[in-house]
Structure 1
Amino acid sequence: MSRPPSFTPPPGVRAYRLGTDRGEFAVLEADAARDRVKGTALLLPGFTGSKEDFIVLQPLLAAAGYRTVAVDGRGQYESPGPRDDEAPYEQAELARDVIAQAHAAGAPVHLLGHSLGGQIARAAVLLDASPFVSLTLMASGPAQISAPQQQRVKLLHDALAVLDMAQVWEAIQAMEPPEDVDAGAIDEGLADGEDLRRRWLGNSPAQLMATGRQLCTEPDRVAELAAVGLPVHVLSGDRDDTWPVPLLDDMAARLGADRTVVPDAEHSPNTDQPAHTARALAAFWDQVLGAA
């Protein structure tokens, strides 16, 4: 589970509900200074994550000239969705949501997806690339997640089948090392347990069931994405247990993509090393802008 530093928007970041032709979505938006707006980026969080995972990146990207809109997808945290019907969370449906969000945010936009968000972003581009000027896959691989992570998702699936969300949260906490639950968050300046619990309870269990299954069964669609011709950036930490870094290197090569490896970062470079991550994102978007 990603741990943002805060769930309170910092100065320059505002929370609101983005209206689209597929419903409303909770977002955090940071505007660039009026005299240096270079473009807009739509930011998609990962499995069990939320828009707050980008809360440190957004002011940094605003300073670099990029307006950003970070979104809770359907059934994530503060964006409502059915809690007992998985059909609205099929990947194609979530991809259509992203296309609608891009248009509402002011297409064409740079699209970034973290982990599960990267696979949904890829599906959106393959469905209709016209609202996007580039795609960044952040810690998001070519196909299904690693075997150990598949086992963790299966355990979650089994728990959600017999327990409610509050009971599952308690079970997750009982399985975490004490230093990760308590001191780790305090020492690293991360969001406290109550914030994380509130986010967890906001998630739709049907969404977690459906997207967890997608993570474990996603096919390799790299060749399809390469054929689209959209500029692609593959960014990750230098360690990742969800998709091994060599696998991400190979995917970038197959895509002819830009590749950034953020040092001293794991599966969430956006929260592990936000300054380095923001510089790499802005540099890629600047490059795309210059080539346009």
Structure 2
Amino acid sequence: MSTPRFLTLPPGVRARRLETAAGTFAALEALPVSGIAERMPALLVPGLTGSKEDFLAVLQTLAQSGRQVVAIDMRGQFETGGPDDPSAYTCAALGNDVDALAQLIGRGEPVHLVGHSFGGLVTREAVIDGRTKFASYTMMSTGPAAIVGPREQVGREMLTRAPEVGLERMWDTHLEPEALSAGVPDEIVAFLRKRFFANSPVGMSVMTKEILAARDRCDELNQVDVATLVLFGEHDDGWPPMAQSEMADRLNADCVVVPGAAHSPAVEAPETTAAALIRFWTAAEANLRS
């Protein structure tokens, strides 16, 4: 588990509530500190146990490239409420939310879309469904199908219990010990605990099932005309780096391996990650204009 690098919001970043036809979403919005947002905006979607704060270390840098950049909590995550209806948390349902958010942020124009980990599977739904035109698409630390390895085992263990009990066990046996062993400061551990238990238990359970059962949709994604980037840390412990590299080849996508990073490049190597995104977004916009 990685730790968001924050104490206070940096200049140009503010908390917002975004009202859409699909519901209200908690967000962090970054705008250029100087100049105007003259380039296409970006929408950033976090992973299963994460939140908008996982992008906090890159928001200001991304915005300074001349963009509005918005990171959100998905339905049922942290500060975005969600119902007890399991059908609200499938990848398809959450993908509908991404469509609504992208259309709001873009005001009818294309936006750059980034999905981290499980967020990559969710955003993939929005790209494939074709209801929204995206300026580009980035799969960050996301594989072509169900997650494997240690994170798969943690998810399956959580599902052997009732949702609330499963959350308690995941925190007590995995997330908190990982944070403490990494030397995470007490105030950040407290935030991580608050964030984790603010999640909808039903939502967490369904989303965990989704990430464990996701099917390969690369062939469908290949049918969509959108510039695509696959970006991951060289030490990713979610989907194996080789699997993500092979996925990039199948998608004819750009591929960036972030040195020294694991499963959360935006946290572990923010400057390298932000620079890669800005280069990719700028090139994608140039191609759209040509």
Using a 3 Å threshold, how does the CA distance of structure 1 residues 113 and 162 change in structure 2: closer, same or farther? Answer: closer
Give the secondary structure class of the aligned counterpart of 2:76.
coil
Deviations 1:196-247 (A, max 9, x none): 1110111001111111111111111011101112110000011112111111
Using a 3 Å threshold, how does the CA distance of structure 1 residues 18 and 156 change in structure 2: closer, same or farther? Answer: same
Take 2:175 and 2:282, find their aligned partners in 1: how far apart are those partners?
A: 42
> Which structure 2 residues correspond to residues 190-229 of structure 1 after superposition, within 5 A?
192-229=188-225
Contact 1:51–1:72 under 8 Å retained in 2: yes
Q: Which deviates more from structure 2 when the two are superposed, residues 208-217 or residues 127-136?
A: 127-136
Matched, 1:274 2:270: yes
Residue in structure 2 matched with residue 74 of structure 1 by the alignment: 75
Q: Which deviates more from structure 2 when the two are superposed, residues 228-237 or residues 147-156?
A: 147-156
Using a 3 Å threshold, how does the CA distance of structure 1 residues 252 and 49 change in structure 2: closer, same or farther? Answer: same
Give the secondary structure class of the aligned counterpart of 1:125.
helix
* C-alpha displacement of 1:166: 5.3
Residue in structure 2 matched with residue 111 of structure 1 by the alignment: 113
Deviations 1:84-114 (A, max 9, x none): 4311111111010000011111242000000
> Which structure 2 residues correspond to residues 210-289 of structure 1 after superposition, within 5 A?
210-289=206-285
Contact 1:74–1:80 under 8 Å retained in 2: yes
Residue in structure 2 matched with residue 20 of structure 1 by the alignment: 20
Residue in structure 2 matched with residue 11 of structure 1 by the alignment: 11
Deviations 1:70-97 (A, max 9, x none): 0000000000002x43111111110100
Deviations 1:135-169 (A, max 9, x none): 00000010011143221101122244462755753
Give the TM-score, by structure 1 length: 0.92
Structure 2 unmatched runs, 5+ = none
Q: How many residues of Structure 1 are paired with residues of Structure 2 in the alignment?
A: 285
* C-alpha displacement of 1:128: 2.0
Structure 1 unmatched runs, 5+ = none
Take 1:275 and 1:148, find their aligned partners in 2: how far apart are those partners?
A: 27
> Which structure 2 residues correspond to residues 177-188 of structure 1 after superposition, within 5 A?
180-181=179-180, 184-186=183-185
Deviations 1:46-73 (A, max 9, x none): 0110000000100011122222000000
Amino acid in structure 2 at the alignment position of 1:156: M
Take 2:260 and 2:182, find their aligned partners in 1: how far apart are those partners?
A: 20
Give the TM-score, by structure 2 length: 0.92
Amino acid in structure 1 at the alignment position of 2:180: V
Using a 3 Å threshold, how does the CA distance of structure 1 residues 241 and 166 change in structure 2: closer, same or farther? Answer: closer
* C-alpha displacement of 1:272: 0.4
Amino acid in structure 1 at the alignment position of 2:141: A
Amino acid in structure 1 at the alignment position of 2:152: Q
Take 1:217 and 1:263, find their aligned partners in 2: how far apart are those partners?
A: 29
Take 2:194 and 2:164, find their aligned partners in 1: how far apart are those partners?
A: 20
Amino acid in structure 2 at the alignment position of 1:267: H
Amino acid in structure 2 at the alignment position of 1:185: V
Contact 1:13–1:30 under 8 Å retained in 2: yes
Contact 1:99–1:131 under 8 Å retained in 2: no
